[in-house]
A and B are shown apart, each in its own frame.
Chain A
Amino acid sequence: MIPRPLTALAAATLLFAGCEEERPVDRATREGILLLGNGDEPKALDPHLISSVGDSNIMRALFEGLVTYHPSEDATHAPGVAERWEHNEDYTEWTFHLRDDARWSNGDPVTAGDFVYAYNRILHPDLGSPYASMLHLLENGEEFNKGEIDDFSQVGAKAPDAHTLVCTLREPAPYFPDLVKHTTWLPVHKPTIEKFGNMTDQFTLWQRPGNHVGNGPFMLESWRINGGVKVIPNPHYWDRETVTLNGIVFYPLANNFTEERAFRDGLIHKTYIIPPDLIGYHKAESPEYIKLDPYAGVYFYRCNVTKAPLDNKSLRKALAFAIDRETIVKYVSQAGEQPAYGVVPPTEGGYQPHHGVEFDLDKAKAYLKEAGYESGADVPEFEILINTSESHKAIAAAVQDMWKKHLGIEKVTIANQEWKVFQTTLRELRYQCSRSGWIGDYLDPSTFLTMWRTGDDNNQTGWGNPDFDRLLTEAANQIDPGERFAKFREAEAVLLDELPMIPIYWYTQKYLLDPAVGGWHPLLLDNHPYKHVRLDPSKIPSE
């Protein structure tokens, strides 16, 4: 009885050893199937119910917006369902002309009405879409989303005919084509949604393989929870000639180390991320695989200005000036990030960030005095709150030790909390100092600045400044791009003078990429249009 499982195991060993001739990733390359590590399991395959980066990656394969991302140029707007578009003089009214040949994956034509229906759905308070605020720019969009008006016809989205969509905005938005590339502006197929439930039902079966209808270059083939989402080319897609892939598999690989091993084992073409401590190894061993691309995001420490001791502006400044950001990006985060001396990354459409903080110990010590502390030892105890993660932990330990080494502040502790607990603590302002990050939704400084308005849901520091709010409103009503950016810079200066947030670095996108993948260029928002991605079998490494 005993040897049997052993023989079975031995047989299994031989079996698997025998058929491992070609790496799965190389076979996939030959077959034109792109295998991607994609972070967490998708919450939904419904563009109106998701909010994470990984989920939006899948949405870009399954749906197509009015305007889409260009494969290599951030500033270029590639036509999507809309062939062309124009705006009025003050950028408050945009007219999109939809192409005739745009089709849903079941063959139905994509019409302007589908977009209006989608905007109605995402803004409808009953759906409770987590990301509906992206459409508050539409006239009366916010009011409708809050339930203050019930009549959607008052919202600034109209379809005068099947191929014309007119969006009226509440303020000038020169960056509007950028905004409508976002997943929240994607259309949905009304007959499919209503076949499986009401417009505002969260839980319906329309997102299942076989039921799902999209208008993107790809359509849903299979979805296994925690096992992967597979998409195949959409035969009705208008630009199907451009699509060369025969399919994409999005693997949920939440464990970064597993993902990195899967890449080395030849099981995926691209990792979602690479853990900082393995960057050095890959740079040395396989520099041709590792990619470190600039990314529109900022890593910072929030300060709760309603709680001692960080309610003291000078203390916040002392802390900000005592962080050696060069050392952090070079030795701790290690992914070629840029030290952040301002809030807005230098990626936002030519905007030059305000240089508000730096690493300067003399100034730091002067600020500490100004704050009323003779030495760092007098600073009362406070806590850095992080969410559980090895990289946040390393940065917090480094920052804590810098404050100790450079300013003599001894009584700083670090506490890590599980993600949801962490979010709750932040929201209820029960922290003193906390690690945070913000990734831009589109390429415009406003995506990094509006969150700091007084009382904004994402502010979470208790900070507010009337000058800052006024400058942002003035910027929002500017039509001239230069004037607009000038206002943003003024606002950023106000923020950096008071420092409710201490910038640490500007993100990079760090991942491993198989050389057989072509058409994958660095993009600031990391939103790659899959229809331009190619797999080149000639690049398969020969054994």
Chain B
Amino acid sequence: MDTISDIEKGSSLGRDAWVRLKKNKMAMFGLWFFVGITLVCFLLPLLPVLPDPNATSPELRSLGPFSEAVANDGTERFYLLGSDNLGRDIFARIVDGGRVSLMVGFIATAVSLLIGVVYGAVAGYVGGRLDSVMMRVVDILYALPFMIIVIILTTFFDNSLWLLFLAIGAVEWLTMSRIVRAQVLSLKEQEFVDAARSLGLSNGQIIFRHIIPNTLGPVIVYTTLTVPAVMRLEAILSFLGLGVQPPNASWGSLVKEGADRMISDPALLIFPSAIFALTLFAFNFLGDGLRDALDVRASKD
């Protein structure tokens, strides 16, 4: 076995890719922004500096940034980015909403990654009749009405955030599986797979140890592009009122509320959508940079 796994080991391209990535300024900006915003959203709430994002003071509604005000019950409040329609702290809500949105992004992407990669790899590797059946299933799922499914799931599992992750992940894996399948189709004809086969590895071992690792490039690229796509989808669900449960916020729900109050209270749109757009921006450039760095051909799907 030792010899086989020694032979199996390939040379790492990671270092080369990293060097190339570092040269791409936009991608590096994307990477650091992503790291920064994640740290802020997940760590800042642990420190006792943020006000409760759900604490209302309706009498202090729609205040501008850097406002200090005293609520009717005598508590002093300081609004870094101003207050919303119920006198809640916009900054605290953005941080809190960011946690939800990023978590939706990560978890749904992880779900789609897991299903999509395995499904696509199996379909592509086994090929033939199974492949065509599996791909028709994907076609069918593509054309199913998403909204109905979400409503039905909502009632079965009670409206929860977990359901949201699941629903979104369940939609996003379809494209992933197509990409992986296309990769695998071209990979399985290559010499190293024959080599692995001649070493006596089982199909499972070949798929998981050789095929999937070699699809890593496009998968990584597509993953960085899935996170923003998922976050957008979450926002659209918020537009339909199917997203996160009130009074909690997500960036999607904050942007939606802001868009509604555009004329009366533009700050409610500007701050959340700026941070939302910047994050998506960062992810997209990171994805592009990774594609260039890993030298991944544009996928055909």
Q: Which residues of A contact B (CB under 8 A)?
A: 257, 275, 277-278, 280-281, 327-328, 330-332, 386, 388-390, 393-394, 396-398, 400-402, 405, 413-418, 421
Min Cβ gap B16→A in Å is 38
Name B241's closest neighbour in chain A (CB-CB).
Answer: A388
A160 to B202, CA, bound (A): 93
A397 touches B260 (CB 8 A): no
Q: A278-B264, A416-B241 are in contact. List 17 more A-B contacts (CB 8 A).
A: A275-B260, A280-B62, A280-B264, A327-B72, A330-B59, A331-B58, A332-B85, A386-B246, A389-B241, A396-B247, A397-B54, A397-B86, A398-B86, A401-B55, A414-B247, A415-B158, A417-B155
Contact of B155 among A330, A397, A421 (CB under 8 A): A421
B58 touches A328 (CB 8 A): yes
Name B73's closest neighbour in chain A (CB-CB).
Answer: A405
A332 touches B245 (CB 8 A): no
- Would A277 and B151 be within 8 Å (CB), given that A388-B242, A389-B241 are in contact? no
For residue B159, CB closer than 8 A to chain A, the reply is yes
A78 to B202, CA, bound (A): 88
* B246 partner residues in chain A, CB cutoff 8 A: 386, 393, 396-397, 414, 416
For residue B49, CB closer than 8 A to chain A, the reply is no
Within 8 A of A (CB), among B76-116: 85-87
Min Cβ gap B211→A in Å is 41
Instruction: Give me the 6 closest cross-chain CB pairs, A-B, nearest first.
Output: A388-B241, A331-B58, A281-B264, A397-B247, A401-B56, A393-B246
Min Cβ gap A504→B in Å is 14
Within 8 A of A (CB), among B233-265: 240-242, 245-247, 257, 260-261, 263-265
Min Cβ gap A180→B in Å is 38
Q: Which residues of B contact A (CB under 8 A)?
A: 54-56, 58-59, 61-62, 72-73, 85-87, 151, 154-155, 158-159, 240-242, 245-247, 257, 260-261, 263-265
A397 touches B245 (CB 8 A): no
A389 to B264, CA, bound (A): 18
A281 touches B263 (CB 8 A): yes
A190 to B33, CA, bound (A): 71
Min Cβ gap B220→A in Å is 34
Min Cβ gap A196→B in Å is 33
* A394 partner residues in chain B, CB cutoff 8 A: 85-86
* A280 partner residues in chain B, CB cutoff 8 A: 62, 264
A332 touches B86 (CB 8 A): yes
Between A and B, 10 residue pairs with Cβ closer than 8 Å are: A277-B261, A278-B261, A280-B264, A331-B58, A332-B86, A388-B241, A390-B257, A415-B159, A416-B246, A421-B151
A417 touches B154 (CB 8 A): yes
A327 touches B263 (CB 8 A): no
Name A392's closest neighbour in chain B (CB-CB).
Answer: B246
A428 to B159, CA, bound (A): 17
Contact of A397 among B56, B59, B240, B264 (CB under 8 A): B56
Contact of A398 among B56, B62, B155, B245 (CB under 8 A): B56
Min Cβ gap A195→B in Å is 38
A397 to B84, CA, bound (A): 12
- Would A418 and B61 be within 8 Å (CB), given that A277-B260, A397-B246 are in contact? no
Min Cβ gap B67→A in Å is 16
